[in-house]
Amino acid sequence: MKTYSEQVGQKLNDLLEKTYDAEKGFKKAAENVENQALKKYFKIKAEERYDFGHELKSEIRGFHQEVDKGGSVTGSAHRTWMDIKAFLSLDNEESMLEESIRGEKTAINEYQEIIKDTSLPTTTKEILVAQKNKIENGLKNIKSLESIH
């Protein structure tokens, strides 16, 4: 049976893996768009996820848990799909933006699921709420980029 700290550590490691995936995905998107506003947005989002990763790693270590390294198979497949879409799509910037929006909505749902866990320590919950709020604010700001097309 897993101890409390192991359970929290596993949830945070799962989120960390998805954070790595998002960071790599945003970097890939920044490489695949020409529009400077979109390029800047994707770079900022990649840096944000990089920062999120460091916060999560510190929190995991704070529970004396092992930090998992790398990204998920699903994330790798998603980035490959973004590459294919970029190659095949005549309107690839719009496709990248749509994928970004979809991914951000998924991330918000994942954060909400973990935050609902009443057994989370206060520090963990504060970190997760702050990160979720940044994602939500970014999603609101992305609406202005949709009008670029």
Domain boundaries, the chain: 4-146
Structure confidence at residue 141 as a pLDDT band (50, 70, 90): confident
pLDDT digits (tens, 9 = 90+) for 26-76: 898 888 888 898 899 999 999 999 999 999 999 999 888 888 765 555 555
Question: Was domain 4-146 assigned CATH 1.10.1670.10?
Answer: no
Phi-psi region for residue 72, left (φ > 0), alpha (ψ -120 to 50) or beta?
A: beta
pLDDT digits (tens, 9 = 90+) for 107-131: 999 999 999 988 889 999 999 999 9
Q: What is the DSSP string of 84-107?
A: HHHHH-TTHHHHHHHHHHHHHHHH
Spell 14-50 as b/e; 16+ CB within 10 A means b: ebbbbbbbbbbbbbbbbebbebeebbebbeebbebbe
pTM for the structure as a whole: 0.81
